[in-house]
Amino acid sequence: MDNKTTQELVEEIKQLRNELRHMREIVNSLVNIVMDYDEEEYDVTPTNQRFLDMYN
């Protein structure tokens, strides 16, 4: 196990909190996009190409 100093641990916690904040912003943006998405435009059975495009 690493023998990190208190200062190193504090810096690591700050970095992790910052990364978590960024991830929350991304998730919030994605949720907003999904909630705003017009369901009438959504095709329930995508074509093969559209299915593949979802994962690219």
Q: What are phi and psi of 37, to 5 degrees?
A: -65, 130
Res. 54: pLDDT tops 80? no
| Global pTM value | 0.55
Token representation of residue 39: 């369901």
Assign 36 a pLDDT band (cuts: 50, 70, 90): confident
Cα end-to-end distance, the chain, whole Å: 38
- Mean model confidence pLDDT for the chain: 80
Confidence of residue 38 (pLDDT cuts 50, 70, 90): low
